[in-house]
Structure 1
Amino acid sequence: MAEFTVVQEVNAPATVVWAALVDWPRHGDWAPLTAVRTLPGPSEGTGATFVARSGVGPLAFDDPMTVVGWQPPSGDGEHDRLGRCEVRKSGRVVHGRAWFSVTPLPGRRCRVVWYEDVTVSPRKITRFAGPVLSLAGRLGFAATLRALARDVEQAVTGRPSGSPS
């Protein structure tokens, strides 16, 4: 089992960040070497299905996912309820579960927490390389969430993140 958690604070409202995160094809904008497509049926909410294709050429693989938990944030205020989405991964290569939460913070900011608990096939890979896979996952998703934050912050403010006001 490879398990990791990544946290990223974003200078944008929780509802805006949630909308970006559940726009499944947009994940390909932030995750290197990944393209995401939705499958027929609902595009959001419990039961939505999508496939992330990661890698290059013959080293690419599909990571099909189904949303099994869905609770959007109730608003953007620090006392509003956080949003949480959980997916079940059911691919030949990667299986397990992942979830993210979006917690409203003061100042129209939010915190994103991303958690993965996955097994990679063949299972021996995960059993022997679990710590390496966890580290790689943590580093990869940290970079992905930083890219998400830059993208959403720029869309909200109209300027690159980190720019003076």
Structure 2
Amino acid sequence: MTSTTASRVFSARASTTFAHLTTLPRHEVLIPFTRITARPAPAQVGDTIVAVTGGLLRDVMLVTEARPPDDDPCAHARCSPSGVITFRKVGPVLLGTARIRVTPLGRNTCRVDWTEEVHLVGPLRLLGPVIAPALHVMTARALRVLDGTIRPSPGS
């Protein structure tokens, strides 16, 4: 299994950033050459998403967790203000999970951690060593592009 995480700090509310990241048709702008079939509203548990990259690579995912963040970081240790959306990749080429966590760092600042833990199926497993760098480039680029499209929160 390949694991990679791309992270970026945004000058925006955690809830705004999470809403952008969970409105999956917007990922067509974030990930080049990819077409997304998903509901237009933010993703919810039970949703099925189909992403097709380059007209060839079909990535079917199920939303298994979708919890928006709390914009105000908590002062006590038991509080978990982070929002998270988790996708279980069910094939036909990629298996594993993708997880996007949005953590408020302040009222108008947040950090996004996008983790992909995947492997290719069948004989494509031999390409495992190249998948991690490719996924990292893809997710880091997606966060960079998103950072250029989210408007800063008022008062930030």
Shorter-chain TM-score range: 0.7 to 0.9
User: Displacement of 1:129 after TM fit?
Assistant: 3.3
User: Displacement of 1:157 after TM fit?
Assistant: 6.4
Query: Which residue number in structure 1 is paired with residue 77 of structure 2?
Result: none
> Could you tell me which of 127, 140, 143 is aligned with 1:142?
140
> Which SS does the other structure have where 2:95 is aligned?
strand
The sequence identity of aligned pairs, in percent, is: 32
Query: Which residue number in structure 2 is paired with residue 65 of structure 1?
Result: 61
Distance in 1 of aligned mates of 2:42 and 2:145: 23
Any stretches of 5+ residues in structure 1 without a counterpart? Answer: 159-164
Count of equivalent residues: 149
Query: Which residue number in structure 2 is paired with residue 54 of structure 1?
Result: 53
Over aligned residues, Cα RMSD in angstroms?
2.2
Distance in 2 of aligned mates of 1:45 and 1:68: 8
User: Displacement of 1:125 after TM fit?
Assistant: 3.1
Question: Under a length normalisation based on structure 2, what TM-score does the superposition of the two structures give?
Answer: 0.86
Question: 1:43·1:49 contact (CA, 8 Å) conserved in 2?
Answer: no
User: Displacement of 1:83 after TM fit?
Assistant: 0.1
User: Displacement of 1:156 after TM fit?
Assistant: 3.7
Which is further off, 140-149 or 78-87? 78-87
> Which SS does the other structure have where 1:91 is aligned?
strand
User: Displacement of 1:86 after TM fit?
Assistant: 0.7
User: Displacement of 1:89 after TM fit?
Assistant: 0.7
User: Displacement of 1:43 after TM fit?
Assistant: 6.0
Query: Which residue number in structure 2 is paired with residue 125 of structure 1?
Result: 124
Any stretches of 5+ residues in structure 2 without a counterpart? Answer: 75-79
User: Displacement of 1:111 after TM fit?
Assistant: 0.3
